[in-house]
Amino acid sequence: QSVLTQPPSASGTPGQRVTISCSGSASNLGSNYVYWYQHLPGAAPKLLIYQNYRRPSGVPDRFSGSKSGTSASLAISGLQPDDEADYYCAAWDESLSGRQVIFGGGTKLTVL
Amino acid sequence: EVQLVESGGGLVQPGGSLRLSCEASTLTFRSFWMSWVRQAPGKGLEWVANIRPDGSQRHYVDSVWGRFTISRDDARNSVSLQMTSLRAEDTAVYHCVRDWDVWGQGTTVIVSS
């Protein structure tokens, strides 16, 4: 099955800027939008970025997304303690198995 | 604000069946793709299945193909996931998702003897 690859962990200090990468292939990021989620323990995942770079209303502009070719990234500026969470990228994938949605493995962000 | 509420989870033996349901609180449900996404203990998010607004397309992750069936009833603002031949690896919290943006809190499925 096709995969989206994320680093398992990332860290930063308050106020810093951190980026989380998401690497895919032509069948997913190369031809479809990327979406980013923040997941806090015990809560439902929250959509941070949709269609590569758009932010839903209510999401601070400290969060930004970009995509180039088969790679995408989520940037968080002005890091805050409340940003400590798991972050996932997701995208449609067009493979031999048909159309499916795939998630990255997740990145655990630690605010030091 | 659209709220999604899942139900139907529980403890089931391997090989058994369960039917999960998800209901939406507003009428904005019917124009959107609806999905089920799960998270096994200690694991990341895994998309399970989705269904097009008109029900004409359904897609499944390979591991559940032929065992799970997603369906929707727009008149009742609900989407369901019929799960059969359940395996230990299906143990997870199952979330109902509207399009990409609205998630339910989830319902827990435990497959164990």
- Digit-coded pLDDT (tens) for B1-16: 668 999 999 999 999 9
**pLDDT above 60: residue A93:** yes
Lowest mean pLDDT among A20-34, B23-37, B61-75, B88-102: B23-37
* Cβ-defined contact of B45 to A37 (cutoff 8 Å): yes
pLDDT classification of B24: cutoffs 50, 70, 90: confident
Determine the pLDDT at residue A14: 97
Report CA-CA distances (Å) from B66 to B79, B82, B91.
Answer: 18, 11, 17
Select from A44, A100, A105 the Cβ nearest to the Cβ of B47: A100
Q: Does B35 touch chain A (CB under 8 A)?
A: yes
Share of chain A above pLDDT 90, in %: 89
CA–CA gap between residue A51 and residue A32 (Å, rounded): 8
Task: For residue A71, give the nearest of A104, A48, A109, A37 by alpha carbon.
Answer: A104
Determine the pLDDT at residue A98: 83
Determine the pLDDT at residue B27: 60
pLDDT tens string A38-85:
999 889 999 999 999 999 999 999 999 999 999 999 999 999 999 999
Q: Give the DSSP letter of residue A15.
A: T
Q: What 3-state class would DSSP assign to A84?
A: coil
User: What does the block give as tokens for B87?
Assistant: 């395996």
CA–CA gap between residue B37 and residue B56 (Å, rounded): 20
Q: Which residue of B has its CA nearest to A101?
A: B47
Answer for the pair B101, A37: CB distance below 8 angstroms, yes or no.
no
Q: What 3-state class would DSSP assign to B31?
A: helix
User: Which residues in chain A have their CB less than 8 angstroms from residue B45's CB?
Assistant: 37, 39, 45, 88, 90, 103, 106
CB atoms within 10 A of CB A105: 17
* Cβ-defined contact of A99 to B105 (cutoff 8 Å): no
pLDDT tens string B45-99:
999 999 999 999 999 999 999 999 999 998 888 999 999 999 999 999 999 999 9
Task: For residue A111, give the nearest of A86, A89, A82, A88 by alpha carbon.
Answer: A82
Share of chain B above pLDDT 90, in %: 85
Determine the pLDDT at residue B76: 86
